[in-house]
Amino acid sequence: MADEESKDWILMVTAKSPTNIAVIKYWGKRDESLILPINDSISVTLDPDHLCTTTTVAVSPSFRSDRMWLNGKEISLAGGRYQNCLREIRSRASCFEDEKKGISIRKEDWENLHLHIASYNNFPTAAGLASSAAGFACLVFALGNLMCVKEDLGAISAIARQGSGSACRSLYGGFVKWNTGYDVSGRDSIAMQLASESHWDDLVIIIAVVSSRQKETSSTAGMRESVETSTLLQYRFKEVVPKRILQMEEAIRNKDFTTFARLTCADSNQFHAVCLDTCPPIFYMNDTSHRIINYMEKWNQLEGTPQVAYTFDAGPNAVLIARNRKTAEALLQRLLFYFPPPGAELTSYVLGDV
Ligand code: ADP
Ligand code: DP6
Ligand code: CO
């Protein structure tokens, strides 16, 4: 460890992570504390320049405790999820040397050094746009860099998973699959890239922010209630998802938009049906969300082949995936007409709070 005279040093790492949106949804855990899912899921990672988290992690011998600020406000790190991520990363830390600055941290020193963490989401937090995914992926990635962790991305994804399940998929770009895994330790419940960002670059994703308000039921609480009460969820994870995962992998491989759109829309609708089948029912979508679905269905029917896929996470905000740029432009024009917004941009489009 650096000696007494150089106690004022501070070491910092900043990382940026994008959010990801599931096209085959994760909903339900078989292990609450390790965050092990009941089914595989597949997502698409958004462009990091749009919806993303930026996190700075700092370590200094002058810090008295671990502290974290989220969007400028201090939050408690007491929850199991933050503690689990910190513990897992600390246990894999390596030594750090910077002779010029006189900093020398031995592997075992990391246990006693405290962290200060500042994180910002450039999009609504806890509103169904996967802030927990970008947030925990970014936190774990930044900490891994700071503490010189030498694990591969798969092992890092298993740590991010312990912060928020969907976070494991945000460590990769493009299309990503989170494997349920078999091991009780969760070692094999990791994310892997199915196809890179460039594989299917005709697709354009438009996020329609219907409401940026914080949702009433967090994803964690919602899926716990569904596991306890929904019979549809039992059918979904045993009978439906395994087949859809195989079909979706094939659709992505072949860039088959018709199948991709059919599966994406069907899976979003079944996930929200599970929410309704939960007791008491959970309503993540609102009237505007329903109007958007209706509109997209009609448009796709009129065209004969699907032009746009829609999917809604645990919130009212729509994620619209257009077949290509031309379709995306037509879609934006129509959205602007039917849902006049206070402001608009191509990939992050505001429909106005309802
Ligand atoms: P969302 O749909 O936005 O993912 P969730 O209910 O799944 O909503 O998760 C929201 C929670 O995720 C927040 O209350 C907070 O605990 C955590 N979270 C969000 N952003 C970050 C971040 N940047 N860093 C760490 N944790 C975050
Ligand atoms: C509907 O990953 O936010 O977005 O693991 O409890 O933190 P926890 O839940 P979270 O759930 C995401 C649910 C979803 C679908 C998905 O992203 O696959
Ligand atoms: Co979440």
Q: Kindly report, residue by residue over 167-190, the tens digit of the pLDDT.
A: 999 999 999 999 999 999 999 999
Average pLDDT over residues 251-257: 98
Q: Is 268 touching ligand 2 by the criterion CB < 6 Å? A: no
Q: Which of 41, 67, 132 to mutate to test the pocket of ligand 1 (most atoms within 8 A of CB)?
A: 132
Average pLDDT over residues 86-111: 94
For 326-349, write each residue's pLDDT tens digit.
Answer: 999 999 999 888 887 654 333 443
Percentage of the chain with pLDDT > 90? 86
| CA of 71, closest atom in ligand 1 | 23
Name all contacts of 75-82 with Cβ < 8 Å and 24+ positions apart.
80/33, 81/35, 81/136, 81/162, 81/163, 81/164, 82/163
* Of 229 and 47, more confident: 229
For 277-331, write each residue's pLDDT tens digit.
Answer: 999 999 999 999 999 999 999 999 999 999 999 999 999 999 999 999 999 999 9
The span from the CA of 144 to the CA of 90, in Å, is 8
- Looking at residue 7, what is its pLDDT? 65
What distance in angstroms lies between residue 132's CA and the mean position of ligand 1's atoms?
3
What distance in angstroms lies between residue 8's CA and the mean position of ligand 2's atoms?
40
pLDDT at 6 over 60: no
* Of 210 and 195, more confident: 195
Are the C-beta atoms of residues 61 and 266 closer than 8 Å to each other? no
**pTM (two decimals):** 0.94
SS3 for the chain, per residue?
Answer: CCCHHHCCCCEEEEEEEECEEEEECCCCEEECCCCEECCCEEEEECCCCCCEEEEEEEEECCCCCCEEEECCEEECCCCHHHHHHHHHHHCCCCCEEECCCCEEECHHHHHCCEEEEEEEECCCCCCCCCHHHHHHHHHHHHHHHHCCCCCCHHHHHHHHHCCCHHHHHHHCCCEEEECCCCCCCCCCCCEEEEECCCCCCCCEEEEEECCCCCCCCCHHHHHHHHHHHCHHHHHHHHHHHHHHHHHHHHHHHHCCHHHHHHHHHHHHHHHHHHHHHCCCCCCCCCHHHHHHHHHHHHHHHHHCCCCEEEEECCCCCEEEEECCHHHHHHHHHHHHHHCCCCCECCCEEECCCC
The span from the CA of 190 to the CA of 153, in Å, is 9
Q: Which of 219, 237, 274 to mutate to test the pocket of ligand 2 (most atoms within 8 A of CB)?
A: 219
Average pLDDT over residues 109-120: 97
Q: Is 217 touching ligand 1 by the criterion CB < 6 Å? A: no
Q: Is 278 touching ligand 1 by the criterion CB < 6 Å? A: no
Query: 22 is written with which tokens?
Result: 């599931």
Q: Is 314 touching ligand 1 by the criterion CB < 6 Å? A: yes
- Looking at residue 212, what is its pLDDT? 85
- Looking at residue 49, what is its pLDDT? 84
What distance in angstroms lies between residue 251's CA and the mean position of ligand 1's atoms?
30
- Looking at residue 342, what is its pLDDT? 58
Q: Is 164 touching ligand 2 by the criterion CB < 6 Å? A: yes
- Looking at residue 50, what is its pLDDT? 85
- Looking at residue 339, what is its pLDDT? 80
Average pLDDT over residues 199-212: 92
pLDDT at 4 over 80: no
Average pLDDT, the chain: 93
- Looking at residue 341, what is its pLDDT? 62
ipTM for the whole complex: 0.99
Q: Which of 26, 180, 230 to mutate to test the pocket of ligand 2 (most atoms within 8 A of CB)?
A: 26
